[in-house]
Structure 1
Amino acid sequence: MNKKIFCYVGSPRGEKSITINLARKLLTYLSHRSECIYKIYSPSELKLEKCLGCECCSKNGNCELDKVDNFDKIKNEMISSDVIILGTPVYAGTISSYLKEFIERLSLWLHIFKLAGKCGVIIATSTGNSLNETAYYLRRIMHGWGISDIYTMLIPVQTNDDLEKAEINEEINRCVEYLCSFLAGLKKPASNNYLEQYFQTLKKLYLPVRNFEHYEAKYWNENGFFELNSYKELLEILYKGK
C-alpha cells in the first residue's frame, strides 16, 4: 500500500516560491525511492478563514469555520497521512502569517496528540536569518500534535537556482533516507523529554474535569489517556503489532 505524505507550505508566491520548489524536489526524490503519494498545499489552493479564538473546538470539538472553507477535508487528509511536512519562508524572523493561520486552525490538536505516531518534516528557508528560531517554534507545534520524530531542513538560500547546489541536494537526500527508513517500518516513533513533560502537564490539567462536558477532557477519557503513565506508552499502543 502506498504511503501518504501531506505537505503545507506557507508561501504565497506559488511557482516562484523557493520553499515550495524545495518541497517539490524533496517529494519527487522520495517518490523515486518509496511508494508514496503526496500533495503540496499552499495559500494559493487553501483560502483559510482566520481563527476567531471562540474556543468552540476546545469545548465541543468542532470549528464553525470548517463549514465555510472546508478545512475539515484538510484535517482528514492529515489524519490519514503517514508523514506531515510543514514548510515556510522566514518572514520577519519567524514563520509566515499563512502558516500561522494554518496552525491556529489546528489549535485543538495541540491538546489531544491527534497526530501521534506520524513522522514530521520541517522545511525553513531564508537568506540565513532566524532559521533555528523558526524551526524551534515548529518543533514545539509538531510535538504538541503528537509527532515525536521530526527531520528539520534549514536551508539558507537566495534564489531558486540555489536549489541545484550540491550541499542542498545532499541535505534533501539525507531527509529522503530518513523518511524511507520511517516509511519502511525500520524506524518507529520514539518519545522524548518534551513530550513526556507535556503529556504529564495535560494529564494533570484534564484529570479534575474528566467527567465534565469538555471535549478535550472527554477525548482523553474516551481514548484511555488517563490510564497511561507516559507518552511512550501511548506510542507503544499505537504501534503494537505493526
Structure 2
Amino acid sequence: MKIALLGYGKMGQVIERIALERGHEIVLKKDQDTSFDGLDRADVAIDFSIPSAAVSNITTCFTHKVPVISGTTGWLEQYDEMVQLCQKEDGAFISSSNFSLGVNIFFELNAYLAKMMAKLDSYKATMEEIHHIQKLDAPSGTAISLAKGIIENSHYTNWTLEQAQTHEIHIEAKRITTVPGTHTVNYSSEVDSIEIKHTAHNREGFALGAVIAAEWIVGKKGVFSMKDVLELK
C-alpha cells in the first residue's frame, strides 16, 4: 500500500514507522511548506496535520480520488461539507477524533454506561481530559466525542468548559508536558462515584489505529467510522 502522509509532526513520524514496519510505502510526506507531489501515486492519505490545513488537505485528496483517513481535530465545523464533497467525488473517508483501538472500545463503554445512568438523577456527569502542552485545541476531539456519546444516550443536552448548568456536562481540559492523552468520565452522587478512564501511554496506539483504518478503506467507497473498521456496529 502506498501512503501519503499529510502532516509530518510527531504523529506523522510514528505513523511512518509503523506503516513501514507493516510493509507499506510512503510516497508523500507533506508538511506546511511542501507540495502535494506524490499524491497521485498514493492508495490512501493519512492526515494528521493542523486544523487550518485539514480541509484543504482533505479536499485535495478527494479531487485526486485518494481515500482519506483524517485524525486532525479542531476543524469539524466543516465536517458535513467534507462528507458532501466525498460523496460528490465518489470517494472514501474516515474522520475520527481518536484512532486508538482502545479509545474506540472506550467510546462504546461510555455510551453503554450513559444509557444505564440516564434515569439516575442523583448522579452528575463530569469529564476530564489531559494532553501535552503542544495540543492546539481544547477540549480534545476525543473528549467532545465522549460528551456526544453521553448526550445521545441521556438527558444531557450540551457540554461546557465553564461552570455547568442543568443538563450540561462540565469538561475540565488540562495541558501537562508530555502527556499523550488521558480521558476520564465520572458520575458522582452524594453517596458514591462511578468512573471510567482511558490512559494512553504513548502515540503508538493512535498511529497503529490510523494505519489499520487505511488498510481497511483501500478499495471502498463511502463515509465510514472506526466502528466499521473494528466491526463494532
Same fold (TM over 0.5): no
Tell me the TM-score normalized by structure 2. Answer: 0.43
Between Structure 1 and Structure 2, the one with more strand by share is 2
Q: Which has the higher helix share?
A: 1
TM-score, normalization by structure 1? 0.42
